[in-house]
Each structure stands twice: as structure tokens, then as C-alpha cells.
Chains A and B, each alone.
Chain A
Amino acid sequence: DGGITQSPKYLFRKEGQNVTLSCEQNLNHDAMYWYRQDPGQGLRLIYYSQIVNDFQKGDIAEGYSVSREKKESFPLTVTSAQKNPTAFYLCASSITGNGNEQFFGPGTRLTVL
């Protein structure tokens, strides 16, 4: 079955550590996205990528980094510079182009201890 996988489902981090969240898709989509979800704030775009080896900052990119070395993969690193990293992180993908549905993964819940 085609879809998006995110791992791990739950992640705990000590302050000052970098952590990397995995996102893989087998939908053959060109575009991929990372969102952060906090209670009462909806989804906010962190980074997005329209094509391999290219990505752009979203609305809240500070303290995060990404790479897009393969079409199927778009990992997100939460760095120690992110002041309040505890949140639910969602990865999505879509066919490049206007009006196309974004398909979402199951999410990773990150908690900073």
C-alpha cells in the first residue's frame, strides 16, 4: 500500500540535544512538507521541498533543518536552537502543482525532558 511513514511515533529528548525525525513516502510525490502542531494553533509549516536537493523555509523554520537527498525521504532535524520543541510533528507529501491534496503521515510526538 502507498503511503507516508513517520518514525518514531514518540520521541523524548534532553535539552541541548539534536534529534532527527524520519519521513518516508512511496507515493512518488515530488513535494514534501513538515508541519508543527500545537494545541489550539492548527498546523504551521516548518519547511517544504518541491524537488530533490531543494527546499524552502516555511513560517517557523528557526531551530530546524532538513535535507532532501532522495525523492522518498525528507528528514527533519530539531536542533538545540529550537527554544520550545515539544510538539506533534506531521510530514506530508503531494503531487507538485496547484490544488493538489496533501497526504499526511501519522505524526511524531516529540517531548523535551
Chain B
Amino acid sequence: AQSVTQLDSQVPVFEEAPVELRCNYSSSVSVYLFWYVQYPNQGLQLLLKYLSGSTLVKGINGFEAEFNKSQTSFHLRKPSVHISDTAEYFCAVSDSGDYKLSFGAGTTVTVRA
């Protein structure tokens, strides 16, 4: 099973500033990669996913992520955040032969005016 590391547990950021959330996983075998967002006391919502093809993936709400196989990373970025982006973000990985997901511990993003 994959091990997923989200390098920052808390990321404070000012409104309209860029943000990057870092995610590394343990194995370089063929993988599927996901970013989910969770608002307080709610379930998770998919932001974007990488299955194959272009290493730059665009998702909802202006988020994008870049898959780097050699560094086993899948970092999430947004060029300009809004107050409404305040939430917890989870990186998740599955091996291509297994549809179970392994989740990182999460990164809490707090956007301030």
C-alpha cells in the first residue's frame, strides 16, 4: 500500500495570494492520484485527479496539480485564493492495480482577508 505525505499540516494565506500544497507518495510504480477538499463537518469533494496523460491537471475552482513521477510528487496549486477556499485538503493515491485509496494526513488552508 502507498504511504502519502502531506508536508504541511497548516497553511495560512492572504486572500488573492497564491498557494501550494505539497504531496509526496512512497512508490514510483504506476499510480492514480487525487486531491479532495473537505469543508467543516462535511464529506470530501473531488478537486482533480491524475490517471494518465498530461502531467498538469486542471480541476474545479481554479485549482491545478502537477504530477512528477521522478520525485513521486503531486503538488496542488491555486494562483489566487478566496476566503471560500478555507478548508482541509487531502491528497490520495492508489496503485493502478488497486482501487483502494491511501490518504495523506491533510493540510488545513486558512485564507485571511
Contact = CB atoms under 8 A, between A and B. Distances in A.
B94 A99 contact: yes
Interface residues of B, number: 27
A45 interface: yes
Contact of B43 (A44, A58, A90): A90
B103 A48 contact: no
Interface in A1-33: 4, 6, 31, 33
B101 interface: yes
Interface in B44-93: 44-46, 49, 51, 90
Contacts of B28: none
A41 interface: yes
A98 B104 contact: no
Contact of B49 (A4, A48, A96, A101): A101
A75 interface: no
Interface stretch (A63-71, A77-85, A105-113): A105-113
Interface of A: 4, 6, 31, 33, 35, 40-45, 48, 58-59, 88, 90, 92, 94, 96-107, 109
A100 to B, nearest CB: 6
Nearest to B101: A102
Looking at A33, A43, A92, A104, which has the most chain B CB atoms within 10 Å of its CB?
A43
Contacts of A42: 4, 6, 90, 103-106
Contacts of A48: 100
